[in-house]
Amino acid sequence: MCYIVNMKTISKSIGFPLDTSKQINVIITKKHMKNMRLSISKSGNVMVSIPYSTTYSYAYQFLVRKREWIANQLNKISKNVIKDSCNFKNQGNIFLLGNNYPLIIKLGTKNNVIFNNCNNQTSPISSLNQNNYGFVITIKNQNEDIKKIFIRWCKNYFLDFFTNRLNYIYSQMFKTSNPPSIKIKTMKSMWGNCNFVKKIITLNLYLAKTPIECIDYVIIHELAHLVHHNHSKQFHALMTTILPDWKTRKKMLNNYTLAF
Ligand SMILES: [Zn+2]
């Protein structure tokens, strides 16, 4: 006879000194399993799963033995995590196109945004003028909502930017010149969307934060849906034909958050 015992998982969070100056949080979970298992998530959460019969202090000793390995793994992760948030304050920063740009805020006669990413500069000396590089946002009075002013600008700027990119890629992919129309909006869970019936491609405004390689990948993905409406084998085969490194670009995209 066999009894199935439905045991609940029990979790416990402990502080664990990684070295003399750094303490991390480790989640120990008791599970129905045979061997202990140590894992670290992409965002750097350290977790240990242990059988019910194992004591917490035994798990702790296990962590002590693995200390160096944990430190190395966390070090690698912290190098890979992109800090892509903006600080909408004077001498803050704006994260756009995979880069961090300095932000200067000035008082002026009207609300205005100037973005200089030095793409058009022929002389490297001109980039030494720091005021010239990055963002200068002029505001009419002190209590203006800088983020709101920036987002309004961003929608306009990137509607142009994305449209140019999409039209160019479309002409290369389909060898015709009637590209779908494009919409831009903030979305919480997707980078883009293709309405193949109405031939409208919607791109997430937050795509503006990612490098051009990622922007192109999302545009090509959505354009490929004009041919294959789902994520079938044929769809992925088409992606590989057009963009052989699409998987790398997709992974890169995962590093960015959907917020400014
Ligand atoms: Zn898709």
Element (H, E) at 103: strand 99-107
pLDDT tens-place string over residues 107-148: 999 999 999 876 544 444 444 444 457 899 999 999 999 999
Q: Which pLDDT value is given to residue 127?
A: 45
**Terminal Cα distance for the chain, rounded:** 59
Rounded mean pLDDT of 147-174?
A: 96
Question: Can you point out the beta strands (E) in 127-259?
Answer: 134-139, 181-185, 192-195, 200-204
Confidence category of residue 25, pLDDT binned at 50, 70, 90: confident
Q: What are the sequence ranges of the domains in the chain?
A: 10-80, 92-147, 150-253
The sign of the torsion formed by the CA atoms of 47, 50, 55, 57 equals negative
Instruction: Give the C-alpha separation, 8 to 3, whole Å.
Output: 16
pLDDT at residue 6 tops 50: no
pTM, 2 dp? 0.68
**How many Å apart are CA 244 and CA 173, to the nearest integer?**
14
pLDDT at 131: 47
pLDDT at site 132: 57
Going from the Cα of 215 to the center of ligand 1, the distance in angstroms, rounded, reads 14
pLDDT of 10 higher than 50: yes
Mean pLDDT of 187-206: 95
pLDDT 10s digits, 204-236: 999 999 999 999 999 999 999 999 999 999 999
Name the average pLDDT for the chain. Answer: 87
Cα 217 to averaged position of ligand 1 atoms, centre (Å): 11
**249 alpha carbon – ligand 1 mean position (Å):** 14
74-94 tens-digit pLDDT: 888 877 666 788 999 998 899
C-alpha 192 – ligand 1 centre gap (Å): 8
Query: Please, which residues have CB within 8 angstroms of residue 36's CB and are 6 or more apart in sequence?
Result: 48, 49, 50, 51, 54, 59, 62
Distance 231 CA to ligand 1 centre (A): 6
Tell me the CA–centroid distance for residue 193 and ligand 1, in Å. Answer: 7
- Burial level of 163, CB count in 10 A (0-12/13-18/19+)? middle
Query: Fold for domain 150-253?
Result: Zincin-like (3.30.2010)
- pLDDT for res 9: 65
Ligand 1 centroid to residue 35 C-alpha, Å: 39
Question: Averaged over 183-189, what is the pLDDT?
Answer: 92
Residue 128: what pLDDT?
44
CA of 191 to the centre of ligand 1 (A): 9
pLDDT at position 21 over 80: no
- pLDDT 10s digits, 32-65: 889 999 998 876 788 999 999 999 999 999 999 9
The yes-or-no verdict on residue 177 having pLDDT over 50 is yes
CA of 160 to the centre of ligand 1 (A): 23
Ligand 1 centre from 40 Cα, in Å? 29
| Cα 125 to Cα 118: distance, rounded to the nearest angstrom | 11
